[in-house]
Chain A
């Protein structure tokens, strides 16, 4: 079976390729790039004028299965992923039961193989039940297919637990992905501490709560030699800490998400629970620092922290509504509109932060159009200008702060192991 994507602009940052041509896919694998119009195949798709890249990879999503299928499940979450141009996502362990046993890891992988429109790589919990106490059976979890370990949603407060967790992960070569929050500084907090929170009367989450936890985790990574990945960086302080840590040779990486450069805490005005996530939206100074961190390479990857919640859960008192927003379907358009078009990142650097770099961070396949690689490909129309309409989302949930935004660039379709996934 031969599939040809004809005449697109093929951009593969993993090999510094940016050329027009036909991408040839044979039996689910990349067969090569040839001159436009020269390839023949059983199936051909005309992608002239479109952008062809390795399938996007999001290393930070919440698919909510098992346990919270009313918010999202693997089927709907990966459909949202495909609609956003993603062919692989890494799902966080705060499910019910948590991803803390090999059985749950295998269940997610099997389910994704049956119903998924994208690959799913589970991230396992550092501690059992995400309770911050006893370590999970990390070797077992890795053997079952977990690609990394995390404490996302329930950040480890005890420094001894974090230290031993890192030592344990390090011996298996697993990356530990940390949600950086010193919780004694955030009790009751529901949005960034600052003028808007003061005016709204909402208890604040100070920026320093993220910076202190990031600093501690960086120091423990230095001590233990564990590979550390800082999740959803939202503050100027944590960007600077990451920059300093990298300069001192510590094995630490970091990601941010579009809302941390596109929005500030002012988006919470009117008690907009679709602008409530953790870490929270910060200040214009933080937006600027995030952009600088992306541009100078301090921030390695762009993720989404896609976190669906049912409408009735968000239609609540602001302080009682859950944290989290959707991200998969708007991420690429935000990146293209807000980073590439204004010249903050080249298109190639932007795609690298969503393909080969995240793949390398967690050691997962994909992120390349190398001959012989699994044919996971995304095709984008960069000219399309569209308005974000939550009602059209493939997710089961509707909680996006970008409703009504006009964005440019949209996935046309993806290819997953040689199979075309229409969006």
Chain B
């Protein structure tokens, strides 16, 4: 693995390798002193062209827990505002001897372009509506922990050492909401289906991308159909400007028909796990009761965040640390 740009281009073996590594790193996060020397002397740059608190902080902490030096470039204060191209910015970071660049950008394909410009590893932290691979990886880790590790009264290490870890065959994941604009939904389709899960997409026709039925997903517009028998229900964030662009009549109507609430969640399996990539619009795509896991509802939204740190530690390790370790 040279870069992590998309899960479409990452094979199942590499996905499993990242997840296994992340599962092992979770133990570090439970220690009183959360620091290992694995990436000491390495520097990681987070280059964020879009605002983000959760993903950037997650990467930064992941780097620091591994003893790498993490530098954030807030694009608003950088030479990008003076018109510097992405290519020149990347070349400059490489010349500054950064060892890895983590990029978030509003243009789909920006991470691919970045990877073409430099020799150091590039991690895609979300590009336009294309992919957000580390988000899907943390989602998969969370699903696995809830649906596989727990299922046969299995312990975490035993599940990990199984013959085919992260085998998601038999699981059905319904992804609900603004699929047209969602990089999370795209990464999850590739990641989940490569591990054997069945994926359904459901949302209003106006928020489904063209030819979605040709992807390895079942596409629905009726929530009831899509949730029937689902093991996992993943609600996507609805950008509130969608209604201004004429894609939706109102947030009220959206919430009533496609919002995940105790009422609509009844369509899914009783033990269905509810997930959300955040940040949530409570009362729009997800009701407060569901988000907070009230009344026996299983929600894993905060676990997702914690798993994000472990997954990003794993990605940094596999892209930078392994090579270093091999040389020692």
Contacts and interface: CB of A to CB of B under 8 A. Distances in A.
B87 A271 contact: no
Interface in A173-218: 193-195, 197-204, 206
A342 interface: no
Contact of A317 (B8, B105, B129): B105
Contact of A318 (B109, B183, B186): B109
A271 B210 CA distance: 18
Interface residues of A, number: 21
A173 B214 CA distance: 49
Interface string B97-114: 000000001011110110
A204 to B, nearest CB: 6
B211 interface: yes
B165 interface: no
A198 B210 contact: yes
A103 B210 CA distance: 47
Interface string B211-255: 110110000000000000000000000000000000000000000
Interface in B186-204: 186
Contacts of A200: 108-109, 130
Given A200-B130, A201-B183, A316 B211 contact: no
Given A194-B210, A316-B113, A318-B108, A199 B186 contact: yes
A319 interface: yes
Nearest to B131: A201
A320 B186 contact: no
Nearest to B108: A201
B107 A319 contact: yes
B262 interface: no
B113 A271 contact: yes
Contact of B210 (A195, A270, A312, A315): A195
A199, A203, A315, A316, most chain B CB atoms within 10 A:
A199
Contacts, number: 65
Contacts of A319: 107-109, 128
Interface string A292-329: 00000000000000000000100111111000000000
Given A193-B210, A194-B211, A316-B85, A199 B8 contact: yes
Interface in B158-215: 183, 186, 209-212, 214-215
Contact of A201 (B87, B130, B212): B130
A270 B129 contact: no
Interface string A280-293: 00000000000000
Nearest to B129: A201
Contacts of A206: 210
Given A317-B110, A320-B107, 20 more contacts: A194-B211, A195-B210, A195-B211, A195-B214, A195-B215, A197-B209, A198-B211, A200-B108, A201-B109, A201-B127, A201-B129, A203-B129, A271-B112, A312-B85, A312-B87, A315-B87, A315-B113, A316-B87, A317-B107, A318-B107
Interface of A: 193-195, 197-204, 206, 270-271, 312, 315-320
Cβ-closest 4 pairs across A and B: A201-B130, A271-B109, A317-B107, A201-B108
24 contacts: A193-B210, A194-B210, A195-B210, A197-B209, A198-B212, A199-B8, A199-B186, A201-B108, A201-B127, A201-B129, A201-B131, A202-B108, A202-B128, A206-B210, A271-B108, A271-B109, A271-B112, A316-B87, A316-B113, A317-B86, A317-B109, A318-B109, A318-B113, A319-B108
